Structures are given as C-alpha cells and as structure tokens.
Amino acid sequence: MEEVLDTEFRGRRGRLFWMALRFSILNVLTLGLYRFWMKTRLRRYYWSSVRPGGLPLEYTGRPLEKLLGFLIAVTFLAFYIGLVNLVLMFLSLSLLNHDYGAYAISFVGVIPFIFYAAYRRRRYMMARTRWRGLRFGLAPGAWGYAWRAIGHWLLTILTAGLLWPRMTFWLEKYRTDRTHYGNLRLEQTGRWTMLFPAIVPLILGLLFCAAVIVVSIWQEERQVMTGLVLGLPWLVYGLAHYRTVTFRRLTEAKTAGAIGFRAAPRPWRVFRIYMLGTTLIVLAVLAFFSLLGLVLAAFFAGNLDELGVIAELPERLRGLPTWAKAVLALVVYFNAFVFWDVLTHVFLTFPLWRHFAETLQVTGAPALAAVRQRPRDAAQEAEGFAEALDVGAAI
C-alpha cells in the first residue's frame, strides 16, 4: 500500500440539486415526515462522494431508525418542554412580571440537551460510517460532553471570546479521543495554544468594526459607517479563517497509531464559497420570486402581453378571497423554504465538502493493514434528540 493516500471527490452538483429538490418537495408534501429519508439519502450521496485512497466512504444509516430515535426523543422531551415551559412562564410572569425571563430560562434549560444531542448525533453518524468495509465508532460520553461544553462556553463568554480556541481544542479532543476506526483509536495531540493564531483575523475584524462604529458615533460622521462595507466581509473572512485553520491544525495533530493526516484547506477559498454561495442563493431566490410574479401576472391578465398588470398585482392579490390568499401564502412560503434548502446544499454544503475532502491526505497508510473490524453499535436512539431539538442543520 502507498505511504500517502490522497482523497478524491466525485460528487456532481447537478445530481445533488435534483436529489435535494425532489426530497424537499416530498418532505413538504408529507408534512416533514420524509425528512428521515431525505437525510439518509443525501448523506449516502455526500459520504460516497468522498474517497480517501480511491475508495468511497459509506453511510449505512437507515431512515426508520431515525424515525424511531425521533419518536423516543419526542416521548421524553414533550413532557420536559411542555411542562417546564409552562411552569417557567408562570414563574417568570408572577415573580418578574415579565415573560422574557421565561424564554431565557427555558432556553438555558434546553442547553445541556443540545450538547447532549450533538454528541449523540455524532455517535450515531460515526457508527453508521464505513470506509473500506470497516466501521467508525464513537464511545459513549454524551453527558460528559455536555458538561464540558457548558463549562467551556461559560469561559469563552467570560473572556469575550479569547478562550474560544481553547474550547475548540478541548471539545475536539474529547470527541477525537473517543473515536475509533475499526479497532484503532484516534488521538488528538497538540496544545490548545496552537489554535490561537487562527482567531487573530476575527479579533482584528471585530476591533475594526468596533472602531468604525465608535468613530462614526463620536465624530458624528455618517460616512465613516461605510467602513462596515469592508468590516463585515472581514468578519466573514475571520470566521472562514478560524474554521479552516483550526480544522487544518487539529487534523494534522490527530494520530491513530502510525497513521496521520495532512489537511490543506485554504481560508480564502472557504471565504469565497461563503460569499459567492450566499450571493447565488439570494439571487436565485429573487429570480424565483420574479418568475412567480410573472406567472401570477399572466394568470390575472390571461396572457403576458399586458405586463402592465404587474404594477396592479398587489391590488389584485388583496382582492382575492381569504382562502386563496392563505393557499398562495403557503405555496410561496414552502417554495421559499424548499428553495433555500436545496440551494444551500448546492452552493454551500457541496463546495465546502469538496474543498475539505480534496485537501485531505492520510499518511502512514501501510499501518492500516493491521486494523480490524469493530462490533456494531446499535445506537437505538439514533439522532432523535438532535432531530427534535434541531441540532446540526447542514446535513
């Protein structure tokens, strides 16, 4: 076996678009029930498009186990959320004379579940991922993860974000040290301080934006605010830089016996994907609504020759009976939802996967020969809690 394995990426945007479109429409038609099938099938596609050493990853999750996990989560969370929300609302109204308190506390009450759910979700996805016929796995430890995550978040907030790299490192280490490929355990080496340089552009961007705002208020010079035209993309770049560089450093500091990794994603490339992707999504949604406007105009006018009817469109729509307005609003709403969903896959998730995959290498590959299969992890609850709490939206 070669010493270094390159990673190929074989996905096609066009096919992903049609898959995502079909599934999203089915999802709306089934009132959201199809989402378990949709997630499964899209994951199969994404997983199989990534090929370290020329052999694809395989996603073996099943839709019905996701449905089961969701039902289990709903059974327990319904009690928690229904009753706790009600009691909190009552207490907040009667003690604080305000209901924001209730929303804040009820959000705080859900936070441990969110981290718990995120870890469970990762465990499920690892247990259902294979490469070269061998399973990955993540050892149990969701509550330990939840408490640590809460602690790290508190520290990060108290230090105004300066200790964010520390959180990124320790949480990644918690997850990585519990990750297995077959019977091989992964380990996160390195120190948290190695991630510190990654956050510098973001901090500079924040300082720049703060300076722009302070100066423009202080000097009462409105024009200074135009500095934000530079400042906001800078912040986006700062996030892209942080995400890319921490991924690179963390990945290169992961080992599994003699096996190691090289990662070379580029911050500017990720920044371009963010900016271009978002722009394309917005443009496509606008184009869709213009088209919808034309169709409605044609519908009212009978033909497209009298395009003057577009100007009267708002008036005409107002004249519709209530049920027609409701149907139209629902159609537009769900179309926007489906479109947003599908285009996010095509213009954001897909290019990001491609870039991170293509720049990944596995080193010390001959040591793979000694790895053996690991037993199955039933992971009965699947990712039900994450599903119910809407954790981890991308795929």
Partner 1 sequence: MTAVLRVGAKPEPFRGAGVLLDGTSPVPRPVSLAIDEDGPALILSRPDASDERWPLAALRQLRDQADREEMVLRTAEDDDARLVVREAESRRILAARAPALHRRPPVTGTRRLILWGAAAILSVAAIIWYLVPLMADQLAEYLPPEGERVLGERTLEQIRGALDETGFGLLRLCDDPAGDRALAALTARLTDEAALPYDVTARVLDLDMVNALALPGGIVVLFRGLIEAAETPEEVAAVLAHELGHVAARDPTRMALRTAGSVGVLGLLLGDFAGGTVVLFLTERLIRAEYSRAAEAGADAYAHGLLAEAGLRPSALADMFDRLRAEQAGDGAEPPGFLRHFASHPALGDRIAAARTADAALSGPSRAALAAEDWRALRSICQ
What residues numbered 267-286 form the site for partner 1, per CB under 8 A? Answer: none
Which CB sits closer to partner 1, 133 or 302? Answer: 133
Phi, psi angles (nearest 5°) of residue 17? -60, -50
Kindly tell me which residue out of 93, 214, 230, 304 binds partner 1, with binding defined by CB under 8 A. Answer: 93
Beta-carbon contacts of residue 338 (< 8 Å; ≥ 6 apart): 21, 24, 25, 27, 28
117 binds partner 1 (CB under 8 A): no
Which CB sits closer to partner 1, 87 or 230? Answer: 87
Which CB sits closer to partner 1, 184 or 250? Answer: 184
Q: What is the residue-wise DSSP string for 290-328?
A: HHHHHHHHHHHHSSTT-GGGGTTHHHHHHTS-HHHHHHH
116 binds partner 1 (CB under 8 A): no
Q: Which stretch binds partner 1 (CB under 8 A): 12-20, 146-154, 207-215, 281-289?
A: 12-20
Tokens of 178: 């519990």
**How many residues sit close enough to partner 1 to count as binding (CB under 8 A)?**
73
Q: Which stretch binds partner 1 (CB under 8 A): 83-91, 197-205, 208-216, 293-301?
A: 83-91
Which CB sits closer to partner 1, 181 or 234? Answer: 181
41 binds partner 1 (CB under 8 A): yes
163-222 residues near partner 1, rule: CB under 8 A: 182
Beta-carbon contacts of residue 109 (< 8 Å; ≥ 6 apart): 84, 88
Angle formed at CA 265 by CA 146 and CA 167, multiple of 5 degrees: 25
Which CB sits closer to partner 1, 192 or 334? Answer: 334
Largest CA distance in the chain: 74
Which CB sits closer to partner 1, 89 or 228? Answer: 89
Kindly tell me which residue out of 4, 29, 99, 286 binds partner 1, with binding defined by CB under 8 A. Answer: 99
18 binds partner 1 (CB under 8 A): no
31 binds partner 1 (CB under 8 A): yes
Give the β-pairing of 360-363 and 259-263: antiparallel
44 binds partner 1 (CB under 8 A): yes
313 binds partner 1 (CB under 8 A): no
Kindly tell me which residue out of 302, 308, 315, 369 binds partner 1, with binding defined by CB under 8 A. Answer: 369
Kindly tell me which residue out of 25, 48, 298, 316 binds partner 1, with binding defined by CB under 8 A. Answer: 48
Q: Which of 8, 52, 1, 56 shows the shortest CA–CA distance to 365? A: 1
Q: What is the residue-wise DSSP string for 90-133?
A: HHIIIIIS-SHHHHHHHHHHHHHHHHHHHHHHHHHHHHTEEETT
Kindly tell me which residue out of 21, 89, 203, 213 binds partner 1, with binding defined by CB under 8 A. Answer: 89
373 binds partner 1 (CB under 8 A): yes
Give the β-pairing of 129-131 and 259-263: unpaired
Min. distance of Cβ 319 from partner 1 in angstroms?
A: 13
Kindly tell me which residue out of 17, 21, 22, 58 binds partner 1, with binding defined by CB under 8 A. Answer: 58
Min. distance of Cβ 368 from partner 1 in angstroms?
A: 5
Q: Which of 370, 359, 376 shows the shortest CA–CA distance to 6? A: 359
331 binds partner 1 (CB under 8 A): no
Kindly tell me which residue out of 4, 64, 139, 214 binds partner 1, with binding defined by CB under 8 A. Answer: 64
User: How are strands ordered across the β-sheet holding 187-188?
Assistant: 50-52, 4-9, 360-363, 259-263, 254-256, 187-188
Q: What is the residue-wise DSSP string for 149-188?
A: HHHHHHHHHHTTTTTHHHHHHHHHHHHHTTEEETTEEPEE
Cα 388 to the center of its chain, rounded Å: 15
Kindly tell me which residue out of 4, 18, 29, 79 binds partner 1, with binding defined by CB under 8 A. Answer: 79
Min. distance of Cβ 351 from partner 1 in angstroms?
A: 14
32 binds partner 1 (CB under 8 A): yes
Min. distance of Cβ 197 from partner 1 in angstroms?
A: 35
As beta bridge partners, residue 135 has: 130
Min. distance of Cβ 241 from partner 1 in angstroms?
A: 28
Kindly tell me which residue out of 113, 131, 136, 347 binds partner 1, with binding defined by CB under 8 A. Answer: 131
Residue 220 near residue 280, CB atoms below 8 Å? no
